[in-house]
Structures are given as C-alpha cells and as structure tokens.
Amino acid sequence: MTAYFWIVKILTTGMGETTSDYLAHRLNPVVAVALAGTLLAVSLALQFGARHYTAWKYWTSVTMVSVFGTMAADVLHVALGIPYLISTAFFVAALTLVFAIWYASEGTLSIHGIVTARRELFYWATVMTTFALGTATGDMTAVTVHLGYLASGVMFAILIALPALAYRWLRMNAVFAFWAAYVLTRPLGASFADWMGVSKDRGGLALGTGPVSLVLAVIIAGFVGYLTVSRKDTAH
C-alpha cells in the first residue's frame, strides 16, 4: 500500500459522506438510495469484470461504496431511529462476522491474497461494512459524544497513526494493522468533510455539501488520473 492509496481512500470517504448528504436532501430518500445502489452495482460489475487492477475502476467502486455505505448507516439512524451507539455496535458485530467467515473460508485476510472471485467478494463485503461502521462511529463521536466534527477528525487522525506506529515499532501483524487503519479512514475523512460542509450552528464551516463533494471529486479524479498514467500504485 502506497501513500497514494491512503490519500485517495481518505478523500473518497469524505466525498461519500457529503455526497450522500447532498443527495438525501435534494432527492427523495428512496430515489437517492436506489440511484446510489444502481451506480454501485454498475461500478462493481466493471470491477469484477476486470482481469487486472485498473485504477479508475477500483476507485470508482470504492467511491460508490462510500456513498452507499453512508446511506446504509444513515438509514438505521434517520429512518429507523436507532441511536448511533447501537448502530456502531451493530456494524462492529457485522464486520467481525464478515472477517470470521472470510478467514474460515480462505485462511487469510490479506489483500495480497485476493486472487479469486470469491475472495474479491469477501473483500468488497468487508469494504462496504467498514464504510457503514466508520460512518456510524464518526457520527457517534461528533453528535452523541458531543465532540463535534472537527475534534472528531483530529481524534481519528491521531488514532489512524497508531496502527502504523505499532506495525513499525512493535511488529504488529501487517494484516491486522492494515484493516485497523482502513476502518479508521472512514470516520477520519467523513468528520473533516462534514466539518467543512455543515452549517455553522452545527460547528461547521458552512461551505455546503454540494461544493465540498464537487471539490473532493475533482481532487480524486486528479489523483486517479495520475495513478492511471504513472502506475505509481502498482507493484513492478
């Protein structure tokens, strides 16, 4: 995993958060979920049909998982009234179950071992669950614990450094360190994106979810375009 991977991953989490909020407020919620689900299905179809890693296909899928995963977490709270604490615990249990089934079936959780369609299915199920978990966790710290979006973002920025330090200095298992950091990218990116987008009375900069989403989309497109041409994120 290169630095480019982590940068783009965090950017997609922020874009997924603000784009989901934008669509939910501009469209009928059912229509918004259906649209996001359709685009996710199309992007994953392209991804599964690829014979090798292609930057734009992979990151399009990640972005759409981000949008749809955010909606999945928000449905539990907004539509069903489930507190963020409970939805966070639910997604922790769901992620644990996915990991357990994946490991029992394949004997590894390493992304470098994803060489079959079944393992790729496990991978994307895990990615979807981490996005939903991260969304619920970020909202829990910002709203339920009353840290606010900026303070939550700073906290997750500190927390995401811990797996890297533990891997480098304490020889933490590489697979565990990767997934720990991967889960934390979601609340990290989403917290800062929310902080930029939400109104000032909610502790934000009031830039608007639409403009924030657009700017993040342009930056992501720039990175993905560069990676497509340079192949900096591909092992040689």
pLDDT score at 84: 86
pLDDT class of 212 with cuts at 50, 70, 90: very high
- pLDDT exceeds cutoff 90 at 135: no
Q: How far is CA 20 from CA 88, 114, 203, in A?
A: 18, 29, 19
Q: Give the Cα separation of 136 and 190 in Å (integer).
A: 10
What mean pLDDT value characterizes the chain? 90
Check: CB of residue 17 under 8 Å from CB of residue 70: yes
Report angle CA 60, 141, 69 to the nearest 5 degrees: 25
pLDDT score at 82: 84
Percent with pLDDT over 90 in the chain: 61
CA atoms within 13 A on the CB side of 131: 28
Instruction: Give the closest residue to 20 by CA, choosing from 131, 144, 156, 137.
Output: 131
Q: Give the Cα separation of 236 and 228 in Å (integer).
A: 14
- pLDDT exceeds cutoff 70 at 104: yes
**Tally of CB atoms within 10 A around 85:** 13
pLDDT score at 47: 93
Q: Give the Cα separation of 13 and 22 in Å (integer).
A: 14
pLDDT score at 45: 94
pLDDT class of 158 with cuts at 50, 70, 90: very high
Q: How far apart are the first and last CA of the chain?
A: 13
Q: Give the Cα separation of 110 and 100 in Å (integer).
A: 13
In three-state secondary structure terms, 161 is: helix
Q: Which of 16-20, 129-133, 150-154, 184-188 has the lowest mean pLDDT?
A: 129-133
Region 51-57 average pLDDT: 89
Helix axes 209-230, 174-197, angle to 10 degrees: 140
pLDDT class of 2 with cuts at 50, 70, 90: confident
- pLDDT exceeds cutoff 70 at 126: yes
Residues 141-153: tens digit of each pLDDT: 999 999 999 999 9
**Tally of CB atoms within 10 A around 205:** 14
pLDDT class of 24 with cuts at 50, 70, 90: confident
Percent with pLDDT over 70 in the chain: 98
Check: CB of residue 33 under 8 Å from CB of residue 69: no
Region 179-205 average pLDDT: 92
pTM above 0.95, yes or no: no
206: left (phi over 0), alpha (psi -120 to 50) or beta: left
Check: CB of residue 56 under 8 Å from CB of residue 223: no
Q: How far is CA 59 from CA 13, 20, 95, 127, 177, in A?
A: 11, 17, 21, 12, 21
pLDDT score at 235: 59
Check: CB of residue 78 under 8 Å from CB of residue 30: no
Structure tokens at 90: 């639910």
